[in-house]
Structure 1
Amino acid sequence: MLTARDLMLLNPPFLYVYNKISHARVIFTHSRLKSIPVLHKNGTLAGTLDRNLIRQEHLPKDSLIENYVDSTSMTLQEEDPISILSTIEEDRYNTVLPVLSAGGTMAGIIPDPGFLKDVLADILKCSKSVAVHDKKELDTYGIITINDDGEIISFNKNAEKILGLKGKDIYGIHINKVIHDSKLVEVVKKGQTQLKAKMQADQVILCSNRFPLYKGDKIAGAIGIFEDISEKEHLNENLRNLRGLNLEMVGILESINDGIVLIDNNGIIIRTNSSFEQISGLSANHILGTNYDSLVEKGSLPASVFWGVLEKKKPFHVIETIKGRDFLVIARPVFDGDGKLMKVVITLKDIYRLNELILNIQMTHEVASRYYIESEAEQEKYQQDDLVASSMAMRRVVSLAHKVAKVDSNVLVIGETGVGKEVVARSIHNCSHRMDGPFIKLNCGAIPEPLLESELFGYEPGAFTGAKKEGKPGLIELADGGTLFLDEVADLPLNLQVKLLRVLQEREVIRIGGTVNKKVDFRLIAATNQELEKMVKENTFREDLFYRLNVVPVFIPPLRERKEDIVPLIIFFLNKFNKKYGLAKKISPEVIQSLLKYDWPGNIRELENTIERLVVTSDSSLVSAEDMKQNTRISEAEESSAKMLSKVLEETEKNLIYQALGQCKTTREMADTLGISQSAVVKKMKKYGIEKS
């Protein structure tokens, strides 16, 4: 039931009987009310004072208003039903209707009772409709009524509370000046009811019901009955945000290649991602809600990880083999605001994939170490287990080697020590039609000169003191039908260069102490780390032999110029030594990063030795940066290079300042010349102890 309290205007302006006419005129100046309540000294109602009466100029301004009070005005009680307005006499339409509390004091006023009486039927019908629809009383609703000019006629206590406005201050003001875009004016113009309309009023979200009010057949105004739904909307918004965050979290978890398991502090699994399902071979439907120990029993996770975190309240990690693959299993605790452990997040990282991702390896070890430009059939034929070619530079070397393998042309392999000259030579042999023949290797710099001739050309029985009775075939003879590889050919003495040249020209060999020429059919591959052209000019290497050897030169770049090969080589040597020593070592990403930064003056041979040393000396299954620091000098080399660079930069900077000092008269000119600020010039001169003369 709608009562006087639901529509009355709170704390209206009022006067006391002892106030003067002059004071009353001031009060009316600041109010739009047609009459104002007048109170006795004890606060009880004396009556009302009419605006039109006070305007009369003949009234003495110092006279008391008690002589002009209308004490016959009608009053209402707060609990009176609003339907009582139907009894108002017409001569009371334009006077305020005081509303009294149970104690007899004034609680508020009905400022325009005549208007409310005219539209009373619609007000009662509308309020009942809202109460029935929402199934609750109207004592929590804000109620505003306006006339057909859009002026506010009533603005109740709940409206004040919800909107933070005072009804006495806004009575008679156009509604759109108070509540922007209130839509009540639209209801007056169109005569259309608007139910459950959501709107924003400053910081408040309202659910408003708006009805036109009729006087007969004509629209006389409108009423808005609304409630504050801000809290409900904020809760809904928070719920939507939580749902959105949950979807985002699910999306993030599903986009991660690592396996993820979320466990509460009781050991119950509350979330996993599809990567973990693939790793464990278990469906989320069978995992969620079960105890962590069930995963341990299935061999999907180690027991030590979760219980270790629960006990120590610190991150815990271990390398574990799951379904035949090695994983780095990391468990991290999640604490609430009070420091209590709430959850444990377990991440499973595939160690091989981790290295692969960090170093951006886009192909498997097998493809990276056996890449050839030839067709698949030729590629299968030419693959060599110890030839790794990932960089474009090495791919060109491999391509050239395979082309020249198809013919018998002499090949000169050029490159620094340790770059893999013998590996390339063997690859040429293995890809040629001589692949079933012998591959004979001779390091010309490793054998003393007196023995080198007999090793290379062989000797007849009794050819010299200490010779075998049956004689001995030389390496050239042994290479018949295959390939002869002369490493460090630059160390071959000049007298033997002449004999080798004759063999290459005649394709015949004569043993030491012999007289019979023996036909030989072999392919010659020579290798050197020296500049043979320079040696030819210095007359330390025969020019005619150089041209015989240098038919097809194959240059192998140093490892520092083809760092794309380092990671595939690391993986190749790691697998090689794991297999050789029956181990299953892995190398941490930090170690690989350091190996990538190093310049490798000893090239592939140095890298191979380093990997073997790390594999056999590391105490853990994962070779760490500490292992590398203790067993290699690579870290020291990095630090030394950094210090050297810093020293060179400082020396260069110092020289530039001296040059500028000699050319310029002032530090400002020096700053312009050097392209830095004047203060920077002064600081650097002070740093290097340079004084301006």
Structure 2
Amino acid sequence: MSEQSIARYKHIFDEILRMTDDGFIVVDTNGIVTDINDQYCDFLGKPKEEIVGYPIQKTISNSKMVDIVKRRYSEELALHKFQPGESKENDNNFLLVSRSCVCDDQDRVVAGVAQVKFRLQTLDSAKRLMSEYAELEFYKEEYHKAGGCRTNFDSIVGSTEAFLEKKRLGLKAARTDFPVLLTGETGTGKEVFARSIHNASSRADKPMVSINCAAIPNELLESELFGYVDGAFTGARKGGKPGKFQLANGGTLFLDEIGDMPLNMQAKILRALQEREVEPVGGSGPVQVDVRVISATRRNLPALIEAGEFREDLYYRLNVINIEMPPLRCRRADILELANFFLARLNQEFQRATVLSQEVKQCFASYQWPGNIRELDNVIKGAYATCDGFTIDMRDLPGKMSLARGTPMPVAGSGKQLSELMNDYEREIILAVLREKGGNCQRAAEELGIHRSALYKKLAKLGIDPAADCRCRKR
């Protein structure tokens, strides 16, 4: 090999020794140290000049490198404990070492080399890897939750003017970093709106992290939001875990059902928003974070403030931009558009061509939809699974929807008082449910959403005999 090639490999070797976090030491066949990198010198607390050119036992008295060279063997990740005073730190005096002899192309031993892994640096590397792995797994989970697609305002179904105005307001909110509070009944699409705001913002290339404040036990909420360090509590994951604030750093944090957050956590959330920092459970200091907060609730926050169940200062911190999501019954022109959207998605997934009957369309348009868009989606899925042919009919819908459409309204002008008209209407509904449930009062009560004892009281009040009336109807 030419001198130029030798010099080139020497430069490469020196750069590798400089870049690595590990320590390296090389000895000749007599155990004289010929090379050592700076990391190992720092650990030993000696300059290179006091090590290179001297027997290795002068620096590491219990070294096995001479034996490795003479007996021509190697070993991996063996535990080596230094003698007192031979390392810089007495409380960090052991490490893992891999040793081997080096042979030339004639199988003659020419040197011995050892690679050491420092305990503290190895632990730090493991913690970093675990943290990165936890973050990667979280993002994978969020991606699958979102269906692998980006939600935006153009993809949100709805063309009524009132709803279009909400979309315009959402786009305006996306141009700022101000906190947004989404209010409205459950199932109105608050999380879809939150994702659309995030994806239309300057933070779209950063993560949006969601947490449901009502779904996590109070004692776990702090660690979920702010994370924890290794050994913070019994059962804590080794290496710790970043919280939602840290995972959302640079992006958006979506606090769903913020109205259900306990008071003690409200104070910590307020501080995190004000100071732009969080302190992990068991941590020794705060961690800086940069997040845009979007929160949502189905509850009346001003009423909760009056009752002392929600902090007024947090409310004003979150409610910089308020978007109140309209219930589905207030945007009836969108009902069939949404229904056809959900149905088309199912047809594409299952390669079918199912449609809604005209009667079902009329039922959808007149139904009150107390569960809003989520209820509509679930009704479509349930009917899709149970319909026999390629058309969803009334018999495929839940019983309460058939009743709402099929039960005759009391006729005004019949000479009856309002209370009598209401009793007639209630009697027809209860009888219809009883017929559907075969006279089973327990199942009828569950369908009506009342306790069985309350149903018995209504039966007595309205003069209904479940067995007799259901039998007569069948005949």
Name the aligned partner's letter for residue 408 of structure 1.
D
**Equivalent residue for 1:580?**
349
Separation in 2, partners of 1:613, 1:409: 40
Separation in 2, partners of 1:440, 1:644: 51
Q: Kindly tell me: are residues 571 and 517 of structure 1, through their superposed partners in 2, closer, same or farther at Cα, counting changes over 3 Å?
A: same
**Equivalent residue for 2:34?**
none
Q: Kindly tell me: are residues 598 and 650 of structure 1, through their superposed partners in 2, closer, same or farther at Cα, counting changes over 3 Å?
A: farther
Q: Shift of residue 468 of structure 1?
A: 1.4
Separation in 2, partners of 1:547, 1:485: 17
Runs of 5+ consecutive residues of structure 2 not aligned to the other structure = 1-149, 422-475
Separation in 2, partners of 1:632, 1:555: 31
Separation in 1, partners of 2:413, 2:267: 51
TM-score relative to the length of structure 1: 0.38
Q: Shift of residue 622 of structure 1?
A: 1.9
Q: Shift of residue 581 of structure 1?
A: 2.2
Secondary structure, in 3 states, of the residue corresponding to 2:253? Answer: strand
Give RMSD over aligned pairs.
Answer: 2.4
Query: Does the 8 Å contact 1:610/1:632 carry over to 2?
Result: no
Separation in 1, partners of 2:415, 2:188: 31
Name the aligned partner's letter for residue 551 of structure 1.
V
**Equivalent residue for 1:357?**
none
Secondary structure, in 3 states, of the residue corresponding to 1:569? Answer: helix
TM-score relative to the length of structure 2: 0.54
Q: Kindly tell me: are residues 647 and 555 of structure 1, through their superposed partners in 2, closer, same or farther at Cα, counting changes over 3 Å?
A: farther
Please identify which structure carries the higher helix content: 2
Q: How many residues in Structure 1 have an aligned counterpart in Structure 2?
A: 272
Separation in 2, partners of 1:524, 1:515: 25
Instruction: Establish whether residue 493 from structure 1 lines up as the match of residue 262 from structure 2.
Output: yes
**Equivalent residue for 1:482?**
251
Instruction: Establish whether residue 426 from structure 1 lines up as the match of residue 426 from structure 2.
Output: no
Query: Does the 8 Å contact 2:151/2:196 carry over to 1?
Result: no
Q: Shift of residue 407 of structure 1?
A: 0.4
Pairs within 5 Å for 1:178-193 = none
**Equivalent residue for 1:556?**
325
Q: Kindly tell me: are residues 381 and 441 of structure 1, through their superposed partners in 2, closer, same or farther at Cα, counting changes over 3 Å?
A: closer
Query: Does the 8 Å contact 1:578/1:615 carry over to 2?
Result: no
Runs of 5+ consecutive residues of structure 1 not aligned to the other structure = 1-379, 656-693
**Equivalent residue for 2:171?**
402
Instruction: Establish whether residue 638 from structure 1 lines up as the match of residue 368 from structure 2.
Output: no
Pairs within 5 Å for 1:410-421 = 410-421=179-190
Separation in 1, partners of 2:287, 2:247: 12
List per-residue Cα deviations over 1:535-561 (Å, max 9, x = no partner): 111111001000001100100111111
Name the aligned partner's letter for residue 595 of structure 1.
F
Name the aligned partner's letter for residue 505 of structure 1.
Q
Pairs within 5 Å for 1:485-564 = 485-564=254-333
**Equivalent residue for 2:467?**
none
Secondary structure, in 3 states, of the residue corresponding to 2:266? Answer: helix
Secondary structure, in 3 states, of the residue corresponding to 1:500? Answer: helix
List per-residue Cα deviations over 1:413-454 (Å, max 9, x = no partner): 000011111111111011111111111111111111111111
Separation in 2, partners of 1:611, 1:415: 22
Query: Does the 8 Å contact 1:414/1:529 carry over to 2?
Result: yes
Separation in 2, partners of 1:548, 1:445: 20
Q: Work out which structure has the larger RCO, using CA pairs closer than 8 Å and 6 or more positions apart in sequence.
A: 2
List per-residue Cα deviations over 1:581-637 (Å, max 9, x = no partner): 222211122211111010000100000001111222111112223433xx5431112
Name the aligned partner's letter for residue 288 of structure 2.
K
Name which of 636, 652, 659 aligns with 2:418. Answer: 652
Separation in 2, partners of 1:494, 1:555: 24
Separation in 1, partners of 2:278, 2:414: 57
Secondary structure, in 3 states, of the residue corresponding to 1:564? Answer: helix
**Equivalent residue for 1:592?**
361
Q: Percent of aligned positions with the same letter in both sequences?
A: 47
Separation in 2, partners of 1:532, 1:654: 39
Secondary structure, in 3 states, of the residue corresponding to 1:535? Answer: helix
Q: Kindly tell me: are residues 638 and 471 of structure 1, through their superposed partners in 2, closer, same or farther at Cα, counting changes over 3 Å?
A: same
List per-residue Cα deviations over 1:51-73 (Å, max 9, x = no partner): xxxxxxxxxxxxxxxxxxxxxxx
Query: Does the 8 Å contact 1:381/1:431 carry over to 2?
Result: no
Q: Shift of residue 516 of structure 1?
A: 2.2
Name which of 608, 611, 631 aligns with 2:380. Answer: 611
Pairs within 5 Å for 1:219-368 = none
Instruction: Establish whether residue 391 from structure 1 lines up as the match of residue 160 from structure 2.
Output: yes
Separation in 2, partners of 1:626, 1:649: 35
Instruction: Establish whether residue 443 from structure 1 lines up as the match of residue 212 from structure 2.
Output: yes
Name which of 453, 459, 463 aligns with 2:228. Answer: 459
Separation in 1, partners of 2:221, 2:181: 20
Please identify which structure carries the higher strand content: 1
Q: Kindly tell me: are residues 590 and 477 of structure 1, through their superposed partners in 2, closer, same or farther at Cα, counting changes over 3 Å?
A: same
